Amino acid sequence: MNIKFKKLNKTIVNCKKCPRLTNFIKKVSLEKRKQNINEKYWGKPVTGFGDLNAKLMIIGLAPAAHGGTRTGRAFTGDKSGDFLFKSLYAIKISNQDFSKKRNDNLKLKSTYITNILKCVPPGDKPMNDELNKCSNYFIKELDYLNNLTVIVALGKVAFDNCVKIYKKKFNFNKKLIFKHGKKYLLPDNKTLIASYHPSPRNVNTKVVTSNMINKLFIKAKKIAKI
Ligand code: SF4
């Protein structure tokens, strides 16, 4: 890992800028979920991971309470991650169709996965000042990934917050509407693609299917030239 990312990730993991979230992570990690009661939770903010030469970035809003916050890796150890990685494996972005824990030999091809907010918020609802504070880390990730050309935002909230950060950074006012599969050109020439979140609720109600997500990532791969 290069020095810039090492430094950034160290800062993120030790960050306590949002007391409400720091306390919530502590609570989640001590109370635990029944099926993980004997596990030691990561219990800290969760950094992004993947190929640092990535052309494609996949973003969610925040780590899950018993997924990323437990395992220490985004989209890892929960049902959303299970669904996502089946798709990423099917379209040859990942070398395995599961993401269970850090150091499980998962490798991503030209892809980096992260969340806009690095700490899980209560009820999955962050406050504006928390998003503002954390956006600096996301901006750094964008700056450090020099080859990045495509961002896939999983879920409307991740999409809207990515747009908000771009609006602030580049001072642009175009309205970008969330619609699954819709793509937009951002002011720095990256392409932003909106996708439904692969949450159990969306999957169980067939709002999102493997076919839909596979198609979307095939499109993203093509634009990113992966
Ligand atoms: S949400 Fe971001 S800024 Fe807030 S404590 Fe977590 S890592 Fe720090």
pLDDT digits (tens, 9 = 90+) for 11-60: 999 999 999 999 999 999 999 999 999 999 999 999 999 999 999 999 99
The whole-angstrom separation of Cα 86 and Cα 72 is 20
pLDDT digits (tens, 9 = 90+) for 97-154: 999 999 999 999 999 999 999 999 999 999 999 999 999 999 999 999 999 999 999 9
Pocket test for ligand 1, best of 11, 14, 16, 17 (most atoms within 8 A of CB): 17
Asked whether 163 lines ligand 1 (CB < 6 A), one says no
| Closest Cα to atom 6 of ligand 1 | 119
Cβ-contact 40, 28 below 8 angstroms: no
Q: Which residue has the tokens 């503002």?
A: 132
Cβ-contact 46, 114 below 8 angstroms: no
What is the distance in A from the centroid of ligand 1 to the CA of 78? 21
pTM: 0.97
pLDDT at 1: 73
Cβ-contact 86, 32 below 8 angstroms: no
Asked whether 21 lines ligand 1 (CB < 6 A), one says yes
Residue 195: strand, helix, or coil: strand
